[in-house]
């Protein structure tokens, strides 16, 4: 597992997004056990406290659950995973729409551009 | 939580110059703190005072609530900016010395660290490269089961490969209930392992903050903030 950290952003947020990505793309499956703080810290070469904080935040968002004496697991609630997926999709969309608006595209134009782009891809 | 280190209003004067002015710092358990500052900002002086190698002109230092002295030295492991070794020593001799001096020396941990650092007991200290020598110094210091580790420029003057190895060793062998105070002026390579940072400038603490909070608040890396703070020097 490798992750290029951007030192301009809080590292715990970057690890959170990384783990969310692994869950959404199915590399981590519902109910999978996840690495311990120690293991993840040495694999990512960062401070164990930062990993600890990441897990706390993921627990707060109910993406990860701790089973006493057994470790941490990816939530088995499909709807939580769907929520993360929607949030991540929304982030991508927001960025895309802002980018298109900066280029001068408006609502209908954006839709048309997307439709055309998808159409081209389907045609390939 | 019990404070590992309390530095209260410490001032240090060397004849006419102030090395430190009214420095106050409190560190809790289980944190890796970066002590950042350009050359001559007082980092080494502060570490020497905490380690008990020099006395403050005024102010006080408490380690685990007690004064600096034999009791504090038993729980503080100090890596100074000069080697702890003598030129005639082998790597094995260096570790034996450390073991003889400090009851908290953990021989098993030392062996694991030697392996990790790719050092051999029979290697002679004066044949080690600078990078390998830094690795040995760090092995000696981290092999103690101390409560507070003071590391003065542990990555100073070593190449990027050795630097990465040293940082990996820090993460790998760091005891989560202990505290590390690490001084450096090379911020970018090392900022990913800090919990918080202290900016020392001309002998004064100008900031003590958690790193992810700083990144969140300023949208900048610690290295970039460091460069801004010290630009006008």
- A8–B219 CB contact, under 8 Å: yes
- B212–A53 CB contact, under 8 Å: yes
Does pLDDT of A13 surpass 80?
yes
Kindly state the percentage of chain A with pLDDT values over 70: 95
Instruction: Give the whole-angstrom CA distance, residue B10 versus residue B23.
Output: 5
Vertex B156 angle, CA B224 and B100, to 5° = 135
Does pLDDT of A123 surpass 60?
no
Does pLDDT of A24 surpass 70?
yes
- A8–B222 CB contact, under 8 Å: no
Q: Does A56 touch chain B (CB under 8 A)?
A: no
At residue A45, the pLDDT reads 84
Chain A interface test: which of B170, B188, B193 (most A C-beta within 10 Å): B193
- Assign A118 a pLDDT band (cuts: 50, 70, 90): confident
**DSSP SS3 for B216:** helix
Q: Does B219 touch chain A (CB under 8 A)?
A: yes
Q: Taking the mean position of all CA atoms in its chain, how far away is CA A1?
A: 15
- B192–A10 CB contact, under 8 Å: no
- Assign A121 a pLDDT band (cuts: 50, 70, 90): low
Helix B211-218, helix A11-24: angle, nearest 10? 80
Q: What is the mean pLDDT of residues A57-66?
A: 92
B-chain CB neighbours of A11 within 8 Å are 192, 211-212, 215
> Residue A61: enclosing H or E segment and its boundaries?
none
- Assign A95 a pLDDT band (cuts: 50, 70, 90): very high
CA A64 to each of CA A67, A78, B61: distance values in angstroms, whole numbers, following the listed order? 10, 12, 42
Other CB atoms within 10 Å distance of the CB of residue B112: 15
Does pLDDT of A2 surpass 80?
no
At residue B185, the pLDDT reads 86
The interface pTM score, or ipTM, of the predicted complex is 0.71
At residue A122, the pLDDT reads 57
Q: Does A9 touch chain B (CB under 8 A)?
A: yes
Sorted by sequence, the CB contacts under 8 Å of residue A89 that are 6+ apart come out as none
Residues of chain B with pLDDT under 70: 1, 232-233
At residue B104, the pLDDT reads 95
Chain A interface test: which of B167, B176, B177, B196 (most A C-beta within 10 Å): B176
pLDDT, tens digit, 9 for 90 and up, residues B33-46: 999 998 889 999 99
- B167–A46 CB contact, under 8 Å: no
pLDDT, tens digit, 9 for 90 and up, residues B192-222: 899 999 999 999 999 999 999 999 899 899 9
Sorted by sequence, the CB contacts under 8 Å of residue A100 that are 6+ apart come out as A109, A110, A113
Which of B32, B168, B216 is opposite residue A45, by nearest beta carbon?
A: B168
At residue A55, the pLDDT reads 94
Q: What is the mean pLDDT of chain B?
A: 92
Domains of chain B: 3-231 (3.40.50.300)
Sorted by sequence, the CB contacts under 8 Å of residue A96 that are 6+ apart come out as none
- B212–A11 CB contact, under 8 Å: yes
């Amino acid at each position: 597992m490798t992750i290029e950290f951007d030192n301009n952003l809080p590292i715990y947020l970057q690890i959170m997004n990384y783990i969310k990505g692994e869950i959404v793309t199915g590399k981590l499956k519902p109910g999978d056990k996840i690495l311990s703080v120690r293991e993840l810290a040495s694999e990512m070469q960062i401070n164990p406290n930062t990993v600890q904080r990441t897990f706390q935040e993921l627990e707060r968002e109910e993406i990860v659950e701790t089973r006493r004496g057994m470790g941490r697991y990816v939530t088995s609630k499909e709807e939580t995973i769907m929520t993360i997926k929607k949030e991540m999709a929304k982030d991508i969309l927001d960025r895309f729409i802002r980018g298109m608006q900066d280029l001068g595209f408006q609502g209908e134009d954006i839709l048309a551009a997307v439709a055309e782009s998808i159409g081209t891809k389907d045609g390939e | 939580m019990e404070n590992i280190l309390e530095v209260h209003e410490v001032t240090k004067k060397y004849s006419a110059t102030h090395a430190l002015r009214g420095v106050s710092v409190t560190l809790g358990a289980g944190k890796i703190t970066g002590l950042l500052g350009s050359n001559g900002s007082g980092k080494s002086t502060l570490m020497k005072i905490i380690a008990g190698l020099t006395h403050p002109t005024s102010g006080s230092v408490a380690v685990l609530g007690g004064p600096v002295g034999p009791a504090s030295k038993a729980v503080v492991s100090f890596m100074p900016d000069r080697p702890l070794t003598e030129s005639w020593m082998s790597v094995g001799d260096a570790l034996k010395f450390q073991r003889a001096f400090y009851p908290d020396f953990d021989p098993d941990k030392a062996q694991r660290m030697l392996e990790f650092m790719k050092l051999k007991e029979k290697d002679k200290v004066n044949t080690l490269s600078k990078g390998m020598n830094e690795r040995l110094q760090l092995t000696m210091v981290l092999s103690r089961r101390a409560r507070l580790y003071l590391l003065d420029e542990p990555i100073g003057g070593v190449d990027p490969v050795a630097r990465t190895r040293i940082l990996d060793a820090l993460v790998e062998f760091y005891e989560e209930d202990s505290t590390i105070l690490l001084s450096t002026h090379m911020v970018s390579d090392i900022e990913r392992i800090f919990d918080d940072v202290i900016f020392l400038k001309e002998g004064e603490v100008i900031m003590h903050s958690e790193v992810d909070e700083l990144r969140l608040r300023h949208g900048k890396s610690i290295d970039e903030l460091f460069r801004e703070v010290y630009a006008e020097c």
